[in-house]
Chain A
Amino acid sequence: MLRSARVVDWRGEQSAASGQGSPLASDCTSMNPRNVVFEEEQRLLEEACTRLARESLAKAIFLIDQNGQIVVAVGEIASIDTTSLASLVAGTTAATSSLAKLLGEEEFPVHFHEGKRDNLHISLVATEYILTVVFDQRSSLGLVRLRVKKATERLTEIFGELARRQSADQGANVFSEITDEDIDNLFSDNF
């Protein structure tokens, strides 16, 4: 436990107590408010994305938060490493956003990557989320743009509802009953 954290040298030998005045875990505060997605909004978001995939003739649709976490993934996703995709999309979106500010733009809310076979249409939704459409020759950039614009309105509504519910849920904490033993057990199998 952190309260009794000790310095362990690189040979694995415990030597001395960690520096004095170590902050107790209970003293730590979150670096950011948590981002919570509830079942009802998840279902609505999936419905909206499935509809977008159908109407835009897309291969796959991803909704990703700006920190690279996937909220929704629908369509032909079996052959895609979705976790890696989400991280890289968030990275490129953050870099694009900084580029915009560097040039005096508030934002580049849409960016597009064209490949020989597949293309990526990436756009911001409700400022904190990234809508990513993967499409091939079965669709076109014009169709995707048109359908994304329509879907964005619906997604923004749902995220608005989600934000309201998140505000109301501040008192609930599913992790309040976690024990120190639970935390220690996290590491027992994999490392």
Chain B
Amino acid sequence: MSFINYSTREIILKIVYYGPGLSGKTTNIKFIYAATNPEARGKLISLETKADRTLFFDFLPLSLPAIRGFKTRLHLYTVPGQLFYSASRKLIMKGADGVIFVADSQEPRFEANLISMDDLKENLAAYNYDIEKIPFVIQYNKRDLPNVSPVSELRAALNPWGVPDFEAASGAPDGPGVFNTLKAVVKMIIQDLRNA
């Protein structure tokens, strides 16, 4: 739910990173934090287990330039990827303005991607969101690893709707995939606001 405050002249957008465990959702957010102008970012919060697995969510606030006199702020959240955290994922999805699905390109994780996508559809349906109508993009992550599925196979399995999709690499954090993914979903959300 986009939040618009006429008094403070700001608009806040909530974006959720979804995907299977260890696909790189938290790494996406940490990379954005590291690569963003310190004045444009808030504190990165990670609610993690002792083994650095996301327990509840990660949170990163970002500031973008004003648009039509309104300061634009992004609130980035990740969900915990492990299957048994389903209840937490559902809570975090509430009020989301856009979703980024981070898929793990490695062949052994192909099935995990499918299960996570089905889980996303279920959680969206619980809030009466239609995956074909929401601002939604997909990132095929870890493209730099040796045992990855071809993008064409991933796309056929995960992106039957033909939403914008991007490649990213776990070992090349200077690659553009992380930011291109984020930019794409923000554009979709704002264009959605414009056309509302």
Chain A residues within 8 Å of B, Cβ to Cβ: 1-2, 5, 7-12, 18-23, 25-39, 42-43, 65-69, 71, 81, 83-84, 87-88, 91, 94-95, 98, 173-178, 182-183, 185-191
7 contacts between A and B (CB under 8 A): A11-B175, A30-B97, A32-B1, A34-B196, A95-B88, A178-B67, A188-B65
* A23–B61 touching, CB < 8 Å: no
* A68–B6 touching, CB < 8 Å: no
* B175–A12 touching, CB < 8 Å: yes
* B177–A9 touching, CB < 8 Å: yes
Number of B interface residues, CB 8 Å?
A: 79
Looking at the complex, which one of A91, A175, A190 makes contact with B193 (CB distance below 8 Å)?
A175
Residue from the set A10, A21, A35 with the largest chain B CB neighbour count within 10 Å:
A10
* A8–B176 touching, CB < 8 Å: yes
* B175–A21 touching, CB < 8 Å: no
Q: Mark B79-95, 1 if CB is under 8 A from A, else 0.
A: 00000000110011011
Cα separation A94 to B90 with both chains bound (whole Å): 10
| Contacts A2-B191, A191-B35; A29 near B134 (Cβ below 8 A) | yes
CB distance from A68 to the nearest CB of B (A): 7
Give the residues in chain A near B175, CB-CB below 8 Å. Answer: 10-12
* B56–A91 touching, CB < 8 Å: yes
Give the residues in chain B near A21, CB-CB below 8 Å. Answer: 161-162
Contact residues of B between 33 and 77, Cβ < 8 Å to A: 35-37, 40, 42-43, 45, 47, 56-57, 59, 61-65, 67-68, 70, 72, 75
* A36–B4 touching, CB < 8 Å: yes
Cα separation A9 to B143 with both chains bound (whole Å): 8
Q: Apart from A10-B175, A31-B1, A84-B59, list 10 A-B contacts with CB within 8 A.
A: A8-B166, A9-B167, A20-B162, A25-B188, A28-B135, A84-B45, A177-B68, A183-B191, A187-B186, A190-B65
